Amino acid sequence: LQVPGVEVSTGSLGHGLPMAVGVAYALRARGRDAQRVFVLTGDAELNEGSNWEAIMHAGSARLPNLTLIVVDNRSSNVVLGEIAAKLRAFGWDAVTVDGHDHDDLRDAYTRRGDGPTAVVAVV
């Protein structure tokens, strides 16, 4: 950990989510399921195939301690369609919220089901 608070250098897109899946697994193996893992991505980062590998796997692995935050600022030049619908198709509990609304964000972040959750924050 070279920068306090920054656990992973994810400047290269598509690396953070697979690593977060591993952290979620590791916490479960250590018996620390209550500890949650948040991973921050963006709509354009979801172009990377490695994310969809991890999304597919985490959806089937049912990791309730994992939360994916997608900042959807329409930065991708490729139209992805509704991101939350795609995540739900992969088995995630996904909601879309106004990324400027703190109450909505808090509600979304505190959801916990029997599998991974995703918050698509539109800004």
Partner 1 sequence: MTSMREEAMAAVVDVFQRDDDVALVMADISLDYLRPAVAHDPRRAINVGIMEQSAVGVAAGFALEGYHPIVHTLAPFLSERPLEQIKLDFGYQGLGGLFISAGASYDYGESGGTHHAGGDVQALGSIPRIEVLVPGSPAETGQLVRSTYANGRPTYLRTSTVENDEPVELAPGGLTVVRRGPDVTVIAAGPFLSRTLAALDGIDATVLYATTLVPLDAETLAREAAPAAEVVLVEPVYEGTTAGQVATALAHRPTRLLSIGVPRRFLKRYGTAEQHDAELGLDAGAIRERIRAFLG
Site residues, partner 1 (CB under 8 A): 2, 7-9, 12, 14-15, 17-30, 49-50, 53-54, 56-57, 61
CA 59, CA 22: separation in Å to the nearest integer? Answer: 13
> Considering beta carbons, is residue 49 or 81 the nearer one to partner 1?
49
DSSP state letter for 6: B
Kindly state the smallest distance separating residue 26's Cβ from partner 1, in Å.
3
Nearer to partner 1, 27 or 108 (CB): 27
3-state SS of 82-94 is CHHHHHHHCCCEE
